[in-house]
Copies of this chain bind each other. A is one copy, B any other.
């Protein structure tokens, strides 16, 4: 078992590929003997933030809750992986201050590409006015200024993007190569 806890904080637009890439990274880290917990945006909303909406205040509260849980896991030797949109820079920086080894990963798929894929049909609904406060359409997304990792997904497979993240962790000494 590898005993150093840290946090992989994925951020990016809806449909950018955060969960897909995060899941592949999780699989690889488990193969390497890390204890890993994935805190997915939707699951956490169900368990920790039911009743919260998508105003800036409610989004920030949701992100702080995810950050609190991630900090508990990371300080106990677990790799906490989060994959919520987390659109606001200030609260991401706040959470960074709580966690010793915090790795911010910007999944930088351009809006046009997320919208063209529209896997869940959410962008179409947002454009039709059926979803208010939709990040990238009617609510801002503030990209990280200095993320530890910036993943450009265009023209790359999710496996290639995940491999970039794992290679970064190797170089940073957080996950020794097998």
Q: A residues near B, CB below 8 A?
A: 1, 3, 35, 37, 47-48, 50, 61, 64-65, 68-69, 72-73, 75-78
Contacts and interface: CB of A to CB of B under 8 A. Distances in A.
Contacts of A47: 64-65, 68
A78 B77 CA distance: 9
- Copies of this protein in the assembly total 2
A64 to B, nearest CB: 7
Contact of A73 (B61, B64, B68, B76): B76
A167 to B, nearest CB: 25
Contacts of A65: 47-48
Given A76-B78, A77-B78, 14 more contacts: A1-B77, A35-B76, A35-B77, A37-B72, A37-B76, A47-B64, A47-B68, A48-B68, A50-B61, A69-B69, A73-B73, A76-B77, A77-B77, A78-B78
Contact of A72 (B3, B61, B69, B77): B69
Contacts of A48: 48, 65, 68-69
Contacts of A1: 3, 77
Contacts of A50: 61
